[in-house]
Amino acid sequence: MTSRVREILSWYGADSAGTLTNLARLLDHGRLAGTGKLVILPVDQGFEHGPARSFAPNPPAYNPHYHFRLAIEAGCNAYAAPLGFLEAGARDFAGEIPLILKTNDNDVLREEKDPNQALTASVQDALRLGCCAVGFTIYPGSAHQLEMYGQLRAYAEEAKRNGLAVVIWSYPRGSGLSKDGESAIDVVGYAVQIAAQLGAHIIKVKLPTAHVEQEAARKVYDDRRIPVATPAERVRHVVDCAFAGRRVVIFSGGAAIFDDDKLLDEIRAIHAGGGFGSIIGRNSFQRPKEEALRMLGAVMDIYASPPASAAGMR
Amino acid sequence: MTSRVREILSWYGADSAGTLTNLARLLDHGRLAGTGKLVILPVDQGFEHGPARSFAPNPPAYNPHYHFRLAIEAGCNAYAAPLGFLEAGARDFAGEIPLILKTNDNDVLREEKDPNQALTASVQDALRLGCCAVGFTIYPGSAHQLEMYGQLRAYAEEAKRNGLAVVIWSYPRGSGLSKDGESAIDVVGYAVQIAAQLGAHIIKVKLPTAHVEQEAARKVYDDRRIPVATPAERVRHVVDCAFAGRRVVIFSGGAAIFDDDKLLDEIRAIHAGGGFGSIIGRNSFQRPKEEALRMLGAVMDIYASPPASAAGMR
Amino acid sequence: MTSRVREILSWYGADSAGTLTNLARLLDHGRLAGTGKLVILPVDQGFEHGPARSFAPNPPAYNPHYHFRLAIEAGCNAYAAPLGFLEAGARDFAGEIPLILKTNDNDVLREEKDPNQALTASVQDALRLGCCAVGFTIYPGSAHQLEMYGQLRAYAEEAKRNGLAVVIWSYPRGSGLSKDGESAIDVVGYAVQIAAQLGAHIIKVKLPTAHVEQEAARKVYDDRRIPVATPAERVRHVVDCAFAGRRVVIFSGGAAIFDDDKLLDEIRAIHAGGGFGSIIGRNSFQRPKEEALRMLGAVMDIYASPPASAAGMR
Amino acid sequence: MTSRVREILSWYGADSAGTLTNLARLLDHGRLAGTGKLVILPVDQGFEHGPARSFAPNPPAYNPHYHFRLAIEAGCNAYAAPLGFLEAGARDFAGEIPLILKTNDNDVLREEKDPNQALTASVQDALRLGCCAVGFTIYPGSAHQLEMYGQLRAYAEEAKRNGLAVVIWSYPRGSGLSKDGESAIDVVGYAVQIAAQLGAHIIKVKLPTAHVEQEAARKVYDDRRIPVATPAERVRHVVDCAFAGRRVVIFSGGAAIFDDDKLLDEIRAIHAGGGFGSIIGRNSFQRPKEEALRMLGAVMDIYASPPASAAGMR
Amino acid sequence: MTSRVREILSWYGADSAGTLTNLARLLDHGRLAGTGKLVILPVDQGFEHGPARSFAPNPPAYNPHYHFRLAIEAGCNAYAAPLGFLEAGARDFAGEIPLILKTNDNDVLREEKDPNQALTASVQDALRLGCCAVGFTIYPGSAHQLEMYGQLRAYAEEAKRNGLAVVIWSYPRGSGLSKDGESAIDVVGYAVQIAAQLGAHIIKVKLPTAHVEQEAARKVYDDRRIPVATPAERVRHVVDCAFAGRRVVIFSGGAAIFDDDKLLDEIRAIHAGGGFGSIIGRNSFQRPKEEALRMLGAVMDIYASPPASAAGMR
C-alpha cells in the first residue's frame, strides 16, 4: 500500500477497520491504484434521465453488462449504479471491480422545483451485492433537503456499522437557489461541507463556476479575496471546504461535452487544484467503447502524473 | 470535586449516575474546572452558515483538527460539533476534551420563515465517538416546533438511558415571532423554560434584549416590575426561568463582534446575572489562534472571578 | 479474472454476489492470484496451544503485527486468526490482505476426550474488521459435534446474508474415534463431506493416512477398490468427497516439521491430487521470517506450476 | 496527553474512539496519570470470599463508601467492584474516579473443582452507573471455561459497541490444572494470551511462579531457554505473551501479605519486567486507611520512577 | 416523610426516583410507617410446603383474601406472595396495602440436596398487579446458585428499569453446607453480602446461630473477636455485612414457634441489633386471626419503641 493511500485512510479515524478496508479497495483498484486519485464510472442516468436519452447515443449501453465491462476495461476504480443495474451483473462480474450501490434515485417524469429522491435500495442490498460503498444523493437547497439529510444519516450509520464506505452525491438544487446558483462556487463549497459534516467518506460535486449566489457569502469571498477565478482555484477552494482536504472530493464530468479538449482541460484543473478525481458518466458511455476507453485513458494519464501541488495542505 | 459542582449535580436527581458522571466531566474539565462555570467551543457554523463564511476569516479553521486543538489549548470545558467534524478528530484527540455531538442541523441554502432541523447524528454515534453529551437544537416559534420537540424527546430518553447528558440549543425563530421577538426577554425566558421542561441538563440561549414580544407577557412584566433593564438583570431573569437556577443555562457569544470590549462586557453581565457560562464559536475560531486564546483567556478570567451574587437563589 | 477463478465461483450458485466477491478476493490475492490455488497463513496456535509453545521458537511472532507482515510479504491469499490478533492489526494493515476471522476457539489447558469450542467472535466482528470470511472449527466425532454443527449453521447463515464467505476447519476428534481414526482416509473424507453439507465455501482438513477407521466404510473401500495408497490418491479421494471437487478443500501443514523436503513432498501430493492449497501455520511462523518466506515461496512455486491432472473432474 | 498514553492507545486500532476515550480516562486519572502505569483498587472480595473474611480486619471497609474514598484519596486510576458496591456509591461519587463494573462473580460457599461464575451485572448497568469499563473473570482450565469464554464474547462485543473498555481477570483454575499449576509461568502466560485473543483491553493475572505445568510447554521453555528464574523475568515473559506488550497487563497483589517489604519487592519486579501496574485489593483495604494510603503511595512511587527498560519492545 | 425514611432512601443513589417511590411506599405504610422498620406478611408456604401443612392449622387461611385482610388489619408494611395468591386478591384490595410479588418458587415434592427455584412470575406481572417490589429467592451454597444469581440479575435489572424495588430472600442451602451451616453466622452474613452485591434493596435472611461453618471464616471471627454470642450481636454483624447497614435487612420468624415469649425475644434482639424488621409468615397465619393480630401488634410495639442503638453506624 502506498504512503498516499495510508495518509488518506488516516483521515478517517472514527471509522472501523472494515470501512477503511473498503475505502482501500476503492483507492487500490484499477489504473490509478495507489495514487490517491479516483476515476469512477457512474451509470444512474437510465433512472435519472430515461433510457433513450441515456443509451440511444450508444445503443450497446442499454445492456447492463456493457457498463461493468467498460469500467473494468478502462481500469476505473469503481462502478456506481442503482439497484437494477448492479443486480443485473453483480454475479457475472463478482470480484472484478469495486461496486458502489446508489441507494436513492429520482426521475424526470415530473419537473419539481424542489426535487427529492426515493429510497431505491438498502444497505443490506449493498452487502449481498458485494459493494464497497453505498451512494446517496442529497439536494441542498431543496424544500426536501432536511428529509434527505435525515435518511442519509440512518443509511450512513448502518453502512458504517457494517464496514461499508459512504459516497455522497451533493447536488445543490431547489427553490432556494437560482439556476446559476446550483453551480455557484459558494454553493458548491457549502454542498461539500454539508456532505462532509453528514459523515461522507467520498463526496461528489459538480465543477463550480465563479458565480457567488448568496449575498452573505459574497461579502466574505470579496473581503477575504478567496481566489476563485480559475477552475483550479475553485477546485482548491472546494477541497478546502471538505475539511481542508481531509475528505475525498471528486468532480462530475457534468453534461455530455463531446469536446475532449475541453473535458481534459477540466481534468487538468481538478488535478491542479488538488481534487481527488472524477466521476464520468455520460462522457464515457454515450460514445463508442473504444473512444470511451481512449478518453478515460487520457483522463487517467493526467491523474497519474505528478500533481502541480499537494492537497490536504492545511 | 468542589462543593459547587456537587451542588449542581444535586439538581439532577432523576438522572442516572452515568449521566451525572458525564455532567461532572463537563464541569470538571479545563480552566474553569470545578467553578460551576462553563466555556464551550461550538463549531457547527460550517453546516449552519457555510464553510467560506465560517472559516475564510481564519483559514486554518477549515481543518477539523484546528478546533479540537483550539478547545484543548484554550482550556474549554468541551467542544461541540456536528458528526463530520467530530468523526474527523475523535480518534486523534481521544480523551483530551469532553465532546458534545450536535445531533441535528440546518443550513442557510434556503430561507424558511419556519425553520426546521434535520437529524444528522444518533445517540449511538455519540457513544462510539466517546461523547459526554448530545446536543439538539429546537426552534420554539416555528411551525415545525412540535416535530422538533418530539424528536428531542426520543433522543433525550435514549441519551439518558445510556448515561449521556443532554444539551439543548433553544433558539426562538419562525413565523410565530417578529425578528425582534427572537431575542425578546419574554421569548428567551420562555425558550429556556421549554428546554428545561423537555429534560435538558444544559440549555444554550442567546443573550436577550429588553424587548417584550408577547402582549400577554408584557402585562406581567410590567405589573410585576420584573427587572429587565440591564443585561445582568435579563440574565438573572433567564436563569430564573430555568427552574430558579436549577438547570445550567449558558449564553451564546452571538454574531461575530470583533469588539472584545463589548464581548467582555457581555460576559461580565452573564457572570453578574448568575449565568453559568458561554458558548463562543465565531468569536473564537474566526480570528488567529493566538488572539482567540487571549480572548478566551480573558473570558475565563471573568468567570473564574468571584461572582457578584449567587445564582440558584430561590 | 481468470477462467479458473470464474469456474470455481460457478460452483457456488446459491450464494449472493457479495459472498462470491469475497471468495474472489481470496482467490485473486497474492502470489497465487488467479490460479485457483490458495496458501493461507493461520495463526490461532497462541489460543489453541499457548503462546510459548507457539511463539518462543521465533520470538518476533509474539507480536500480532508480525503475522500480518509475514502473510503480506509472502504473498499469501489470506491471513486467518482469532479476534484478538485481528483486532490488534486490522486498522494498521487495512486493505493489505484478505482476513478470515476465526470465530470459535479452544485451548489445551484441559484435555477433553470430547473436545468442544467456545464462540469467541461474531459475524458482526468480521464485518467491522473488514474480513472476507469467517472461520469455524467443528470436531466430527466429539460428543459435542451436534452443538458445534448447530452453532455453525447460525453463523454461516448470518455470514452469507451479509456477503461473507465461510471457511470450516473440519477436524475429526473425540470419543467416537481412535487416535489413528482422526486422520483416517474414510474419516477425513467424511469430515469434508459434513463441512460441505453444512454449507462451507472452503474446507480445511488434515492430510489423511491410508488407515480406514469405520468397519462399515472399510468394506466399501475394499469392494470398490478406492485408490488410497499414495498421498496424492488420498487427496484426490478427499476432493471427491467435497462434492466431486466442487468445493474448495485445502490441507493443513500439520505439526511443525522442520524437514522442508518432507513438507514440499506433501505439497506436491496435494497439488497432484487436485487439492486447492494449503494452510500453513507453525511451519511458517515458527522459523525466522526469511526462512519462512523462502519456504512459502517454494510451496507457492509448486502450486503455481501446471497440475499433473485436473481436479473437479466428475 | 503524554506520548506514552498515546502510544498505548495506538495499539487498539480496532476500537472506537469511544472505547479509546474510556481507556484514556483510566490511564489519565490519579497519581499515575499519563505514565502508562495503573494502580487499581478492586473490591470484589465481599462476594468472592465473604464479608467477615474481607472486612473484619478493618471494619470501616464494610461500608461501600469507604472504598470509593480510599481509591480517590490514594490517587488510584480506577475502582473496580460488583454491582451492589458500585450502586451504593455511584451517585455520591459521580465523576470522582473511573469505575470498572465486575459483571460476573462467584462465592466460596461451595468448593468446586471446576469453578464457574454467575453473570451478576450487565453492560447496560455499566452505562447507567457511568463506568469506563466492564470487568469479567474467566477460569481457563475449568470444565466451564468455554461457557465463560462465550459469555465474555457477548459482553465484550456489547461493551465495545457502546464505547466501553473490557478488563479481563484471567485466573487459571479447575480440574485441568494442579494447585501449583494455577500460578505456573506457562499457565499464566497462556491465560494472558487467551484473554488477549478474546479481545481484552486490560488483563489482570497473578504473579507467576517459575513452575512449568504442562509437559508440552516445558520442552519449549527448556529448549528455548526462556528466562523465567526471577520475578522480573517472569513478568517480562507474561507481557510478551500479551501480544509482545501491546496489551495492558496488570498483576494482582495476591493474598494479603502484611509484609510490605515483600509486597514492594513484587512491585519492583513488575515494574522492572515491563508490567503495566497492579490491582491491589486485600493489601489495601484490610489495613487502616492511613496505612493503606502510605502503602499505595509507596507502590505508586515505584511505578512513577523511570523503568529499568521499556515494555512493548518487540 | 420522616428523616429516617429520607436517610434510608439516600442509600440507594443508583436507583431511579420510581424505585425510591416504591421503597418509600413500603416504608411509609402501616403501623410502622416512617419508623424505618418493616413488618411484612409473606405467604408462599402454600407453594413451598403444601396447602395442608400451611393452612389446615387455621382453615380460613386457605382463602387468599384472608391474607390480604390479615396484612391490612395488622398494619403490616406489605404483603408478599406468589403469583396465584396475588392475582386472587389484587383487584379486590387494590391500593390497600403494598404488594411484593414472589417471582420464583420451589416445592417439597422432591427433596433435592441442591435445591433450585422455578421462575413463576415476571416483572411484567408485578407491574400489572400494582406491586411495589419483586421478591426473588436465592440458595447460596446450592449447586444451582450461579444459575439463580444470573436469573436474579436479569429480573433485578428489569425491575429497576421499571421503577420497582427488589427484595431478595437469601437462604443458604445445598450440598456445599452442613445442616447447621444453613444458619451459621458466617454463612448468613455471607448470604446477606451476596444479596446486597447482586443489587437487592431489601434482604431477608434467617436469624443466625453462633455456629461458624467455614474454616477460613472461623479464623477471622476468632482473631478479630467479632462479637456473635448473643442474638442481638449476631443481628448487628449481619447488618454490618449488608454494606454497614446501608441496605435494609429483615429477618424471618423462622419455623412456627407457638411460644410468643420466645418469638418476641427474637424481635427484641433484632431491634436491639439494628435489624430493620421482620417477615412473619407461619407465626401469623397459622393461628386464629385475632391471636395473630395481637401477636403482630406486640411485634410492632417493639419495633416502634426507641432502639437501644442506631444502625447504619459506620
Annotated catalytic residue: which of E204, E219, E262, E289? E204
Mutant choice from D10, D16, D162 vs A, greatest count of A C-beta within 10 A = D16
pLDDT digits (tens, 9 = 90+) for C149-170: 999 999 999 999 999 999 999 9
Q: What pLDDT is recorded for position D34?
A: 98
DSSP E strands in E78-178: the ranges are: 78-81, 99-102, 104-105, 118-119, 133-138, 165-170
In this prediction, residue A130 carries a pLDDT of: 98
On chain E, the residues whose CB falls within 8 A of the CB of B163 are none
pLDDT, chain B, mean: 95
pLDDT of B169 > 70? The answer is yes
Which residue of chain E has the CA closest to B18? E14
Nearest CA in chain D to C108: D141
Phi/psi of residue B310, nearest 5 degrees: -85, 145
The pLDDT, as a whole number, for residue C314 is: 43
Supply the pLDDT for residue A110.
86
- Please compute the mean of the pLDDT values over residues E34-52 and round it to a whole number: 95
Cα Rg, chain C, nearest whole Å: 18
pLDDT tier at D254, thresholds 50, 70, 90:
low
Banded model confidence at residue E110, pLDDT cuts 50, 70, 90: confident
Q: What mean pLDDT is predicted for residues C260-279?
A: 96
Nearest by CB to C127, which of A95, A130, A163? Answer: A163
Nearest residue, CB atoms, C50 vs list D12, D199, D217:
D217
Q: Which amino acid is at C251?
A: F
Question: Which residues of D fall within a CB distance of 8 Å from A14?
Answer: 16-17
Mean pLDDT of chain C: 95
Contact yes or no for A17 and D17 at CB 8 A: no
pLDDT tens sequence across E131-189 = 999 999 999 999 999 999 999 999 999 999 999 999 999 999 999 999 999 999 999 99
Q: What is the pLDDT of residues A168-211, one digit of tens each?
A: 999 999 998 999 999 999 999 999 999 999 999 999 999 999 99
Which whole number is the average pLDDT over B8-14? 97
Please list the active-site residues of B: 204
Question: What local confidence, expressed as pLDDT, does residue C211 receive?
Answer: 97
Q: Kindly identify which residue of chain C lies nearest to residue A161, measuring between CA atoms.
A: C128
Residue-by-residue DSSP string for A249-273: EEEE--S----HHHHHHHHHHHHHT
Write down the catalytic residue from C37, C102, C160, C204. Answer: C204
CB atoms within 10 A of CB A87: 17
Q: Note the pLDDT of residue D279.
A: 96
Phi, psi angles (nearest 5°) of residue A204: -110, 125
A259 band by pLDDT with thresholds 50, 70 and 90: confident
Average pLDDT, integer, range C173-191: 96
- Which residue type occupies C123? V
C204 classed as catalytic: yes
CB-based touch A/D (3+ pairs, under 8 A): yes
From the list D49, D64, D121, which residue is nearest E153 (CB)? D121
Per this entry, what is the length of chain C?
Answer: 314
- pLDDT for E250 equals 98
CB atoms within 10 A of CB E128: 11
Chain A residues lying within 8 Å of C25, measured CB to CB: 95
Measured at the CA of C148, the angle between CA C144 and CA C152, to 5 degrees, comes to: 175
Option in A5, A19, A128 nearest C17 (CB)? A128
What is the count of residue pairs from C and D with beta carbons less than 8 Å apart?
A: 141
Q: Which residues contact A153 (CB under 8 A, 6 or more apart)?
A: A198, A199, B83, B118, B119, B120, B121, B122
Could you tell me if A269 and A231 are in contact, meaning their C-beta atoms sit under 8 angstroms apart? yes
Residue B125 to chain A, least CA–CA distance (Å): 8
Left if phi > 0, otherwise alpha if psi is -120 to 50, otherwise beta: which for D95? left
Angstroms from B130 CA to nearest CA on chain D: 3
Distance CA B201, CA B11 (A): 9
* Whether pLDDT at C232 is above 60: yes
Asked whether the predicted pLDDT for residue B312 surpasses 70, the reply is: no
Instruction: Provide the residue type at A201 as one letter.
Output: H
Mutation pick from D20, D146, D313 vs chain C, by most beta carbons of C within 10 Å, is D146
Mean pLDDT on D172-195: 97
Chains E and A, touching by 3 or more CB pairs within 8 angstroms? no
Please tell me the distance in Å from D10's CA to the nearest CA on chain C. 10
Q: Hey, which chains touch E, using 3+ CB pairs under 8 Å?
A: B, D
Mean pLDDT of chain E: 95
Residue of D63, D106, D120 lying closest to E244 (CB–CB): D63
- Decide: B and D in contact? Rule: 3+ Cβ pairs under 8 Å: yes
HEC-encoded secondary structure of B231-274: HHHHHHHHHHHCCCCCCEEEEECCCCCCCHHHHHHHHHHHHHCC
Binning pLDDT at 50, 70 and 90, where does residue D311 land? very low
User: Contact B62/A241, CB-based, under 8 Å?
Assistant: yes
Q: Binning pLDDT at 50, 70 and 90, where does residue D309 land?
A: low
CB contact under 8 A, A16 and D14: yes
Contact A143 B110 (CB under 8 A): yes
Mutant choice from D54, D87, D286, D287 vs E, greatest count of E C-beta within 10 A: D87
Task: State the pTM of this model.
Answer: 0.95
Q: Where are the alpha helices (DSSP H) in C75-228?
A: 83-87, 123-128, 145-161, 185-197, 215-223
Q: What is the mean pLDDT of residues C61-75?
A: 98
Mutate: best of B16, B20, B160, partner E, most E CBs <10 A: B16
Instruction: Please state the rounded mean pLDDT for residues E75-103.
Output: 97
- Which among C127, E304, B299 is positioned nearest to A22, based on CA atoms? C127
Whether D95 and B25 lie within 8 Å, measured CB to CB:
yes
Neighboring chain A residues of C7 at a CB cutoff of 8 Å: none
Closest CA to E201 of E236, E238, E250: E250
Query: Residue E309, Cβ neighbours under 10 Å: how many?
Result: 11
- Would you state the pLDDT for residue A19? 98
Cβ distance of E243 and D88 shorter than 8 Å? yes
Catalytic residue among D102, D160, D204, D206: D204
Contacts of D94 in chain B (CB under 8 A): 9, 17, 20-21, 23-24
Place of cell 470487568: D135
Q: Which residues of A touch D21 (CB under 8 A)?
A: none
ipTM over 0.85: yes
List C-alpha distances in Å: B170 to B83, B194, B232, D50. 20, 8, 20, 52
C24 CB neighbours in chain A (<8 A) are 94-96
Task: Give the pLDDT confidence score for residue B311 in this predicted structure.
Answer: 45
- Of the candidates D62, D116, D124, the beta carbon closest to that of E240 is on D62
